Amino acid sequence: MSENKAIKEIDGLKLVGFRVLCSGDQYIITVPPQRYAVMRHKGANYKIRDTYNDLHMWIEDNKYIRLKNKWHLERFYSWHDIENVDIELLNTIK
């Protein structure tokens, strides 16, 4: 199940931890300030593609441009139950 879409300006983020793909001993990445189209996915993990499709259609319908060569993020709020994940999807836009 997807939730309301929104536009967020994020000044910058620090990604910390082993889930971030880093070279060598570097475990912190700073994502530069960007503008995101945001949608939250709550439900089964295998249905996240539907939420991504909905977000991408919303971006296009509202005349935004997806910046495919920039950072796109997923914020995980709950992921322990694959039938009930809670993930915020952030796609960089112009």
**Res 79: pLDDT:** 86
How confident is the model over 2-37, as pLDDT tens digits?
567 788 887 766 665 545 555 665 666 678 889 999
pLDDT confidence tier of residue 1, bands split at 50, 70 and 90: low
Q: Output the average pLDDT for the chain.
A: 85
Q: What is the mean pLDDT of residues 32-45?
A: 94
> Containing H/E element for 37?
strand 34-43
Whole domain around residue 24: which residue ranges? 2-92
How far the first Cα of the chain sits from its last, in Å, is: 26
Q: What is the mean pLDDT of residues 36-58?
A: 96
> Containing H/E element for 48?
helix 48-61
Q: Please state, in angstroms and as integers, the Cα–Cα distance from residue 66 to each residue in 10, 34, 51, 57, 72, following that order.
A: 16, 12, 16, 11, 10
**Res 20: pLDDT:** 53
Measured distance CA(52)–CA(91) in Å, rounded: 9
**Res 25: pLDDT:** 58
> Containing H/E element for 7?
strand 2-10
How many structural domains comprise the chain?
Answer: 1
Q: Give Cα 7 distance to the centre of its chain.
A: 12
Q: What is the mean pLDDT of residues 82-92?
A: 94
**Res 68: pLDDT:** 93
